Amino acid sequence: MQQKGKLVFKGTAHKLGDNIDTDVIIPARYLNTLDPDELASHCMEDIDKNFSTQVKRGDIIVGGENFGCGSSREHAPLAIKSSGVSCVIASSFARIFYRNAINIGLPILESRTASEHTRSGDLLEVDFKKGTITNMTSGESFVSESFPEFMQEIINMGGLVNRTKQKLEGNE
Amino acid sequence: MMRTVFGALRVVRFGHIVKRFQYECLRAERACLFTVLCVNIVQAFLYEVHSMGMTMSEKILAVHAGRDTVSPGQLIEAHLDMTLANDITAPIAIQEFRKLGVNSVWDNSRIALVPDHFTPNKDIKSAEQAKYLRDFAGEMQIINYFEVGKMGIEHALLPEQGLVLPGDLMIGADSHTCTYGALGAFSTGVGSTDLACAMATGKSWFKVPGSLKIVLKNRCRKWVGGKDIILKIIGDIGVDGARYMAMEFAGDGIASLSMDSRFTIANMAIEAGAKNGIFPVDTRTEAYVQESMKSGRRSDRYRIFESDADAEYEKTIEYDLGTIEPQVAFPHLPENTKNISDINEIRIDQVVIGSCTNGRLEDLRTAAAVLKGNTVASHVRCLIFPATQNIYLQALREGLIETFVEAGAVVSTPTCGPCLGGHLGILARGEKAVSTTNRNFVGRMGHRESEVYLASPAVAAASAVTGVISSPDAVVK
């Protein structure tokens, strides 16, 4: 989901590999809290101890295949979002993570070519309206997979809770 | 003339297509419009192609969405039979539920809340989360809230308590909710926000998955069971080999598999990225379900769905169960599987037998058969977790617990604790564990430089005795 009025993100890429699992994104030993800042402080710590201190607001995570595989913990996209990451691009997403990200408003895009042609430190510009990813460092541009209409509706309505609330209130 | 031609054609296999074809032709014949005939023939053909047979997953989704048919890729909203959350996922779900502006849940008998992950409370924060869940259950008068002492690991508990039935559509805020596919239900894991909305509405949205058919033939060898079968499959297709798909099991080999083995197999469908795992319902399933329904927690009737002979599968894979040997998945992915006979000596520090994957009675009986009369190696800690209170009690009555304690193992109350590195049995830097759990990701059971090797209860118990990863044949002569 895009932040309201925010359709273009520019940030530095953090390139990760295939099968980045939810235990790596936020180890289960920290799931005894709902505090987003505390979750963010442990994000990715088992593969990169310095991630939480080095990540800058607006940075972009670029994963490989099956990003977010493993547990259904919503703490995973929450930890990423709270760490300041503006969006996640991956070759493919595990299905529960994909669903959770949409539901909680973590912008995500699927693009195998963008993932393959991005290196850590590259400056990326992501345009959600056009569905494009531009690697400002290399000058290459990529088109992402588009969201199905139904998913776009959830995104446009500000997440699943808002959509459900409007339906319950009979506004749809 | 046309009647004769199509009368003869009806003997062919595609009788239903021909019948529709014939009907349209006769309509066209009466109208004497050849062009109409052609258009109608094409339409009829497209209709018949579209209404090809469905898989059991598709049928369950269709019925719950109030549709005659669904097809892969379609997005539907469907009514749910049961929902689930635990002490980790429910707190966020409750927070989101509060934002919906409703005062009550959709149905207080169709929400199961199970504090099983960090319970008995591992620390103050966990205690606060468990209390948050308990208070919500009280406020909403949730009937199927299971307190410590009555609870178990959710995916062993819900089937045992008759809360999931064949033909159900269910979601749970836990990725291993796919376990209930062993009962012929469509069951899948979701996040807390999805669950929050389901608790309010009794509905959820689904993308109809394509299906991967796995045909199991013949019977397993001694010491080989559900865990070895699913590890073998994941080793072959990879951790994203069934991503977004329904993993449907079929074949004559299923009849010989116990329900406990089927639960183990369906449980780990998610480790291949699947949306759900699903088994056909047979007499063994029905016997299990009828026993579980004696709890009286569900009074509705269950429905049995079968895949049509002409249902479409994205891929079909066959396994001769008789050729599978005990499997071990090496760190740090469940796809890193090896045959037990191909493994060189790997010294271990800990063994964990239990979890939603392998903490059922059959698993404990197998472990006891290996541990009986043997002693856990002096450098190994062997931890055994019966998955529910009922399983614990039955194991006690059968003398299994006595066997475990005599062998030098410790037996714990039901909890998910060690499986996810939550509490009890955390690994130190550099330590190695053989575990009957489902994930061996980096840091899964403790320090990020520790290692988890996934295996069956038989291999885990044998390894506990020898102190190195071992085949049960090495221990039981």
Q: Is B67 on the interface with A (CB under 8 A)?
A: no
Q: Name the percent of chain B lying above pLDDT 90.
A: 89
A37-86 pLDDT per residue, tens? 999 999 999 999 999 999 999 999 999 999 999 999 999 999 999 999 99
Q: In what order do the strands lie in the sheet with A132-135?
A: A108-110, A87-90, A60-63, A8-15, A123-127, A132-135, A141-143
- CATH code, B326-474: 3.30.499.10
Average of pLDDT values for B140-156? 97
> Which residues, 6+ apart, have CB-to-CB distance to B186 below 8 Å?
B56, B57, B60, B61, B64, B168, B169, B170, B246, B276, B278
Q: Do A28 and B442 touch (CB under 8 A)?
A: no
Inter-chain contact A72–B441, Cβ cutoff 8 Å? no
Say what the pLDDT of residue B1 is. 41
Q: What integer pLDDT is reported at residue A157 of this predicted model?
A: 86
Whether the Cβ atoms of residue A114 and residue A89 lie closer than 8 Å to each other: yes
> Given a cut of 60, is residue A2 above it in pLDDT?
no
Burial B382-416 (b: 16+ CB within 10 A, else e): bbbbbbbbbbbebbeeeebbebbeebbbebbbbbb
Query: Searching chain A, which residue's CA lies closest to the CA of residue B270?
Result: A70
Q: Which pLDDT tens digit goes with each residue over B196-237? A: 999 999 999 999 999 999 999 999 999 999 999 999 999 999
Nearest to B191 among A74, A148, A165 (CB): A74
Average pLDDT over residues B393-413: 98
The continuous run of DSSP H or E covering B286 comes out as helix B283-292
Query: In what helix (H) or strand (E) does residue B276 lie, and over which residues does it extend?
Result: strand B276-278
Shared fold status for B78-322 and B326-474: yes
Of B88, B421, B439, the CB nearest to A73: B88
Domain boundaries, chain B: 1-50, 78-322, 326-474
pLDDT confidence of residue A147: 82
- CB contacts of A31 in chain B (<8 Å) are 88, 117-118, 422
Among B102, B117, B118, B192, most A C-beta atoms within 10 A, so best to mutate, is B192
B191 interfaces chain A, CB cutoff of 8 Å: yes
Say yes or no for a CB contact (<8 Å) between B126 and A32: yes
Q: Which among A78, A95, A168 has CB closest to B100?
A: A168
What does the pLDDT read at residue B51? 62
Q: Which uninterrupted H or E stretch holds B23?
A: helix B15-31
Asked if A15 contacts A137 with a C-beta cutoff of 8 angstroms, the reply is no
For the stretch B3-38, pLDDT in tens is 434 333 333 344 455 445 555 555 555 555 555 455
Residue B145 has pLDDT above 80, yes or no: yes
What is d(CA B88, CA B115) in angstroms, rounded to the nearest whole number? 8
Q: Residue B128: closest CA among chain A residues belongs to which residue?
A: A32
Gap between the Cα atoms of B261 and B335, Å rounded: 19
pLDDT digits (tens, 9 = 90+) for B447-477: 999 999 999 999 999 999 999 999 999 999 8
| Contact between chains at A164 and B189 (C-beta distance less than 8 A) | no
Q: Which CATH superfamily is domain B78-322 in?
A: Aconitase, domain 3 (3.30.499.10)
pTM over 0.95: no
Residue B24 confidence (pLDDT): 56
| Alpha-carbon distance A171 to nearest alpha carbon in chain B (angstroms) | 13
pLDDT of residue A153: 84
At A5 the pLDDT is: 47
Q: In what order do the strands lie in the sheet with B169-172?
A: B144-145, B111-114, B82-86, B169-172, B186-189
Closest chain B residue by Cα to residue A69: B273
Residues A113 and A20: their CA atoms lie apart, in Å, by 18
When mean pLDDT is compared across A55-69, A145-159, B314-328, the lowest value belongs to A145-159
Q: Quick one: closest CA in B to A73, which residue?
A: B191
Q: Which of B284, B281, B283 lies closest to B165, judged by CA? A: B281
